[in-house]
Structures are given as C-alpha cells and as structure tokens.
Amino acid sequence: MPKKNINLLIPQEPDSPRVKKLKKILPVICAVLSGLFLISFFGILIFNNSNVATFARQKQEIDILEKKISDQKDIEGVYSLSNSDARVISKIMENKNTFINLLSEVQKLSSSDIEISTVNVNGKGDVTFTVTASNAQTLDILVNRLAEYEIQKKFSKMEAKGIVRDKLAKYLLSVTLIADKSLLK
Amino acid sequence: MKKVSINYIRIIRRYEIIIASSIGIIAVVYLSFRLLFPNFMRAQEIYSEQKQLSGKLSVLKVKDNDLATVDGSFYKDALAKITKVLPQDKDYVSIFESLDNFQTKTGVTILRADFQLGNISTNSASLKKDTSSPAYIVPITLEVIGGMPQISRFIESLSDLSGRLFTVDDTSFAIRPDGLIQGSFNGKAYFYPLPTTIGSVDSPLASQSSEIRDILTSVSKNVVISGQEGGNVPMGKKNLFE
C-alpha cells in the first residue's frame, strides 16, 4: 500500500491586503513614535535641569541687587522727589511771561515829545497804552515808529482810539495792538 | 474550553505584530500625556519666567549703576531748596518771605499784595489747579513801584528760582510824572504736594534731561535756606517822635 500523508496542520487563511499593510505600517509607526517620545522626553529633562540651575543663579543675583538698591532708598528718594519737583517747575516755566522785552520796546516809543503814561498787557499779548504827543508832527513820528514795529512783526493789529486834542494842542490817544509772543518772554 | 483558548492563541499569533505595535503606540500616547506634555508645559513656564527674570535683572543692574552715579548730597541739598521754590502746601509764609527778599534784592517797593482768601486760610477751600502743570495755584495780585530797571529785575526775580516761584499772567504799568513806574501784576504762586511713594525696588530710575539738571543746579546755587526759624523780625518805630 502506498504511504499516505495526513496533513494535520490546518492551512492558514492568507492575510487580506489590509492586514498585510497594517503588519508593515504599524511597527514602523510604533518605532518612530517611541523614538520621538524618548528623544523629546530626555531633551526636555535636560533643558529643565539646566534652566533650573540658571533660574536659581539669576534669582540669587536679583535678591542681592534688590537688597543693595533697598539700602540706597534714601538716595533714590531724594533723587526722584527733586526730579519730580524740577519737572513740574519746568512745565510752569514753559508758559511763563516776563513782559520785560515788551516793556522795553514800548518804552523806546517814548521821547521828550511822546509820553507814554500807562501800559496794560495780558498773557495773550494784547497791549493797550496811552500816549500823549506834544504836537501833530510828533504824532506822525509815533505812527511811523509803530509802522516800523509792524514791518518787523513785533506788533500787529494796531489801532488808535480816543484821539483827543487838549488845550495845549497835545494829542492824547490810546493805542491797542497785539505783541508778538517772543516779546512776552 | 481548550478549543476556545487554542482559537484565541491562534488569533493572537496571527495578529501578534499588529497587536504589539498597537499596544506600543497606545503606551507612547499615554506616556506622552502623562509625562511629556506636563514637562513640556513646565519647560515653557521656566522659559517665560527666565525671560522675566532676565528682564528684571537687567533693569536692576541698570538701576544699580545709575544709583552709583547719583550724588546723594547734591540731591539732598537740591530737594531741601526746591521745596522752597515749590512748596508742598500753600505756605503763605514763604510767599511773604520771598516777596520781602525780592523787594530787598531789586529795590522795588511792594505797595500791596493780595492773595485769594479761602485758598490760604482754610484747608477746606477748594484747590485750584494749574492748567499747564500738575501744580496747584494761589492767585496773587501785586502792586509795586520803582524805576524801570528795578521793575525789570523784580519781574525776573519772580521766576529766577531764587525764592518762591511766581508767574505773571497780566500786568499794567503807570508811568508817573516823577519817572517812577507803578506796576500791577496778576499772577500765581504754586505749590505741589510731593508723592508719598517712590516706586518699587525694580522700577527704573527716572531719567534726567539737561533741562531738569539745569533747574536743580540753578536752585542749588540761588536758593539760600535761612539758618534760623522765627528770628528777629525788624519792626517799625516804637516812638513816633524818633
């Protein structure tokens, strides 16, 4: 009788294409993810440890400097407060008026024949002054002088008001004008 | 029973690669959430805190260097004198004192000085603030008489930082027949309460412009603090026939 072989092994069903693909891809993904995880984890551990050391050193430096600065708070105080006052004074002085230049310009108008009796000035540069001119020629000289000031842009919008002639033939008038801001300083 | 377990073993052996890989992936994901991400957040925190610390450290170093260059005695002197120019409260005594000094220094005669009542005499009166600066104001009117050079010097003295600071808003002059000028000034005196705190340790030191330095130098030179308080005040004649 010829020998018969009985195959006791149950033949395996062949894997589907999807399973074959998974068997190839999943191990690769697992290996890559594991590798990335290990690299990231140890990298972050090293980063944290080195930064903790730097952090501690910087904190110590800060503590030393803060103590040093606190010990000098008196100096800081007088410095800050004096600067604070000086800044306020600086702001005030920006807008201060002295009117000295204006007064001297107005006084230049006066002479033996031209008498300036009152001068009023406000912070905006509005000027009013009363003048007595001894005669018509002197009045003309005054007008010419004022015209020169207008050309030099020191005075503008000049008006003569209330011109009266008294018994002695003197001319009394009041002049209003606007002075240039530079004359108020 | 034995057949069932043999079947399971067969399935596991058939798909062992897939199962092992899946377990590996799940473990990596789990460990990432449990270990990696918290450490990553911690690393970010440390990085941002370190950035803040570095910033704070550099500010403190700059402040320390700046303080090392500050002349404490100069600013101590300047502060004592600048509070005479710009007091912390209304201080009408210093207004009178300054006007007396200006009168003596310039040669004008102050005929009249008017202060707005209520601002001086009572603390409950409303405070008036200056529009161009943070200071408070005391409105003041002065009448003076003197020659033109004296009047000019007087006007300059009001804001030359040698005494209390005054500014003039408007003025009127009457030129008398004897040549003297009678001047009337409407203006302001100022006061400024100093801040009660100077800022934290890590706040930077305020920078100082050359203008501020000039003001402090001018005040240091020009203001003289009298040594005695309440000294002898010169009185008028005790006897009309002297």
> Taking residues B56-82, what's their average pLDDT?
93
* CB–CB contact B18 A52 (8 Å): no
Structure tokens at A159: 């008006």
* CB–CB contact B167 A97 (8 Å): yes
Q: What is the pLDDT of residues B137-160, one digit of tens each?
A: 888 999 999 998 899 899 989 988
* CB–CB contact A70 B155 (8 Å): no
- Among A24, A39, A41, A76, most B C-beta atoms within 10 A, so best to mutate, is A76
Q: With contacts defined as CB-CB under 8 Å, which chain A residues touch B135?
A: 88, 91-92
* CB–CB contact B21 A30 (8 Å): yes
Q: What is the pLDDT of residues A137-153, one digit of tens each?
A: 888 888 888 888 888 88
Residue A116 has pLDDT above 70, yes or no: yes
Minimal Cβ distance to A89: which of B17, B50, B85:
B85
Minimal Cβ distance to B60: which of A45, A69, A85:
A69
Q: Please tell me the pTM assigned to this model.
A: 0.73
Q: What is the pLDDT of residues A14-54, one digit of tens each?
A: 778 888 888 899 999 999 999 999 999 999 989 888 888 88
* CB–CB contact A117 B175 (8 Å): yes
User: Taking chain B, what is the end-to-end CA distance rounded to the nearest angstrom?
Assistant: 142
Q: Give the chain A residue nearest B17 (alpha carbons).
A: A23
Confidence of residue A80 (pLDDT cuts 50, 70, 90): very high
ipTM of the complex model: 0.76
* CB–CB contact B43 A48 (8 Å): yes
Count Cβ neighbours within 10 Å for each residue of B188-224 and write b for 16 or more, e otherwise. bbbbbebeeebeebeeebeebeeebeebbebbbeebe
Smallest CA–CA separation between B238 and chain A, in Å?
A: 38
CB B172 within 8 A of CB A118: yes
Minimal Cβ distance to A92: which of B167, B171, B199:
B167
Q: With contacts defined as CB-CB under 8 Å, which chain B residues touch A48?
A: 39, 42-43, 46
Q: What is the pLDDT of residue B124?
A: 45
- Among B45, B67, B221, most A C-beta atoms within 10 A, so best to mutate, is B67
Q: How many CB pairs under 8 A join A and B?
A: 216
At residue B7, what is the residue type? N
Question: Comparing C-alpha atoms, which of B103, B188, B113 is closest to residue A93?
Answer: B188
